[in-house]
Amino acid sequence: MPLTVLTDDDVRDVLDSLTREDVEHMQKQLADALHNYSTAIEPEDSGCCSSNQPSRIAMKGKEGSTTLFMPATSDSGFGVKIVSISESKKDSGKPGSYFPDSSAASTYTTSSTSSNPAPLSQGHRSSTVSTTSSSSSSTNQITVPLWDPTTPMPEDSSSTTSSSEPSTTPRGSITLLTPSGQPRAIVNATTLTAFRTALASSLLFRQRASVHTVTVFGAGHQAFWHVYLSLLLRGPEIHHLHLINRSFERAQKLYMNLASCVNPAITDAFLGGKLRPSLLTPEYGEFTRLLKDHVRAADVIYCCTPSTTPLFPATHITNHGGRQKARYIAAIGSYKPHMIELAPEILRQAVRGPGNDKEHHEQKHHGMHLHQRHATEGGAVVVDSIEGAMREAGEVIKAGLGGQGLVEVGELVMLKRSHWAEKAAREERERAKREKEGKEKHHGGGHGLGHLFHHHHRSKSGSTVSSGNSEHDSKEEKERKQDKRDREKRREQEQHDGGLREWLERGNVVYKSVGIGLMDIVVGMEVVRLAEERGLGTHVPDF
């Protein structure tokens, strides 16, 4: 069997060429896998079953790096990801905060040009960048070349990482095997890891009723792919994109990478759509005010930093003013117990859910009824893995949430599909019942027109004609009762699912991801398939 080898450039070429249909197919594959991970009970039920996923192994290096070995299995095959992560020297528990301790001199905003700019060398485009001094009302506009999309993305870990300091981006590879154990592919893990995390976040993003305003914390790989997928899936609906980062240079590079992306769906959003991007850094004197504005205005918030302090005050979204708007918040950047992007109170509020909030009752008691204006809380924080979140997610640990306050995304992504599956199963049962009844009539089973008359007679006199008819009536009565129970059960389930769908579409949803190896295997297999269809990568025959 041939072996496919994909470098990081190969992976980026595949992802740069994705269509919306490609992404939706990948979403389906990942949703199926995560659903089986969360719901399969026995290992033989599905290769994705959580009991089939081995624990990862961590090995410490002499220079402070950690190498992780993450085996996983799915219905499409096996695999193992091996990545090394270098600890940043600045990660001492107090990295640079997103909250400024002093006012700085300038603010930076960007706006896409109204018409296609003249192309620059190496396929670069240009963008208008406005620099406004806080001590002057003058504005100078300069045209700068957008970042070369082939240039490696900056990292999330530090705003001023020196060349001598090791990168904190995971470096490694993913080895994929067929279900029979034959080598299938070897894939560079750097870009694939960031993309599969964003793809998992998009499973809930796609269900949101409103995505008008998107706010992003961070400027690295994770931030790039979260914005990329958001624009690819629902670009025309996104009008405001706020990029917030400690370093303006890194935020600008992220913006440039997006605006000069080779995927036409992304460039159309920047150059031909209604999208109005902005950059915000703590160096701006109005940072505190704008941070609050960007958080409160957001329909979607992506947190993509390895921060050890909350990225914004909890009160921005937990007090009455902040709770009038529904948001989807995906926190995927922190992955260790000491890291935290969201204040614990945000998670606690999500878990309290409707009807259990002290503020609701107090306001109702005083006749204010302000609670009616608040967005719906689902009563749980969504995670990729309950076990992983309780062990590694700093927000979950610091909020003191137990397993009862968490729900896995795999239990939620199939709501609409399960509804249609149940409907199809119900129709199949009814069809089988009709066929059975027709067969009995055809063979003269004593239940023809005479049966109808007998039934009519019994309905008046309460008597039975024969023991055979009595048994048949008893069977019919049982079927009617069972059908009634089934209808009541379906009604209850539909009401339950309807409430969940309403929450996922229009309520406050907090999603916390620490990543699981199953994601790498499922998405890796899909990337390999697309690469082979597009003629990308290196192929070794008879490996």
- pLDDT tens, position by position, 426-459: 556 666 666 666 654 444 443 332 332 233 333 3
Q: What is the pLDDT of residues 79-94, one digit of tens each?
A: 999 999 876 555 444 4
Q: What is the pLDDT of residues 177-187, one digit of tens each?
A: 999 999 999 99
Average pLDDT across the chain, whole number: 77
What's the CA gap between 66 and 61, in Å, rounded?
6
What confidence score (pLDDT) does residue 62 get?
Answer: 80
Q: Answer for the pair 148, 253: CB distance below 8 angstroms, yes or no.
A: no
Instruction: Please tell me the pTM assigned to this model.
Output: 0.75
What's the CA gap between 142 and 265, in Å, rounded?
26
What confidence score (pLDDT) does residue 128 get?
Answer: 40
Q: Which range is least confidently modeled, 9-18, 316-325, 495-504?
A: 495-504
What confidence score (pLDDT) does residue 344 get?
Answer: 96
For the segment 34-59, the average pLDDT, to the nearest whole number, is: 91
Q: What is the pLDDT of residues 309-357, one digit of tens each?
A: 999 999 999 998 888 899 999 999 998 899 999 999 999 999 986 555 4
Residue 127 has pLDDT above 80, yes or no: no
Q: Answer for the pair 459, 477: CB distance below 8 angstroms, yes or no.
A: no
Q: What is the pLDDT of residues 250-308, one digit of tens each?
A: 999 999 999 999 999 998 888 877 899 999 999 998 999 999 999 999 999 999 999 99
What confidence score (pLDDT) does residue 268 get?
Answer: 87
For the segment 15-23, the average pLDDT, to the nearest whole number, is: 97
Q: Kind and range of the H or E element at 509?
A: strand 509-512
What's the CA gap between 83 and 68, in Å, rounded?
5
For the segment 27-51, the average pLDDT, to the nearest whole number, is: 92
For the record, the structure tokens of 93 come out as 């528990």
Q: Which range is least confidently modeled, 137-141, 412-416, 520-524?
A: 137-141
Identify which has the larger pLDDT, 442 or 67.
67
Task: Quote the percentage of the chain above a pLDDT of 70.
Answer: 67
Q: Answer for the pair 401, 347: CB distance below 8 angstroms, yes or no.
A: yes
What confidence score (pLDDT) does residue 289 get?
Answer: 96
Residue 233 has pLDDT above 80, yes or no: yes
Which superfamily, per CATH, for 107-165+194-412+508-515? NAD(P)-binding Rossmann-like Domain (3.40.50.720)
Residue 159 has pLDDT above 80, yes or no: no
CA distances from 26 to 22, 196, 263, 463, 529 (A): 6, 10, 17, 62, 11
What's the CA gap between 269 and 276, in Å, rounded?
9
Task: Quote the percentage of the chain above a pLDDT of 90.
Answer: 53
Local confidence band at 172 (pLDDT 50, 70, 90 cut-offs):
very high
Most confident of 59-68, 153-162, 219-228: 219-228
Local confidence band at 489 (pLDDT 50, 70, 90 cut-offs):
low
Torsion of CA 525, 6, 409, 488, to 10 degrees: -20
For the record, the structure tokens of 243 come out as 């990029």
- The one-letter amino acid code at 79 reads G
Number of C-beta neighbours around residue 450 at 10 A = 11
Which pairs from 427-430 meet CB under 8 Å and 24+ separation?
Answer: none
Residue 3 has pLDDT above 80, yes or no: yes
Q: What's the half-sphere exposure (Cβ side, CA atoms, 13 Å) at 8?
A: 15
CA distances from 535 to 13, 68, 124, 357 (A): 11, 31, 26, 56
Rounded to 5 degrees, what are φ and ψ at 105?
A: -95, -20
CA neighbor of 175 nearest in space, from 517, 515, 514: 517
What's the CA gap between 86 and 79, in Å, rounded?
23
Q: Which range is least confidently modeled, 59-73, 128-142, 262-276?
A: 128-142
Residue 461: exposure state from Cβ atoms within 10 A (0-12, 13-18, ≥19) = exposed
The string over 352-368, giving b where at least 16 C-beta atoms fall within 10 Å of a residue's C-beta and e elsewhere, is: bbeeebebbeebeeeee
Number of C-beta neighbours around residue 232 at 10 A = 20
Identify which has the larger pLDDT, 357 or 195.
195
CATH class of the structural domain 3-89+167-189+533-540: alpha beta
For the record, the structure tokens of 54 come out as 């081995």
Residue ranges covered by each domain of the chain: 3-89+167-189+533-540, 107-165+194-412+508-515
Which residues lie across from 108 on neighbouring strands? 131
What confidence score (pLDDT) does residue 158 get?
Answer: 36
- The one-letter amino acid code at 25 reads H
For the segment 112-122, the average pLDDT, to the nearest whole number, is: 30
Torsion sign (Cα): 479, 483, 488, 493:
positive
What confidence score (pLDDT) does residue 332 get?
Answer: 97
What confidence score (pLDDT) does residue 26 get?
Answer: 98
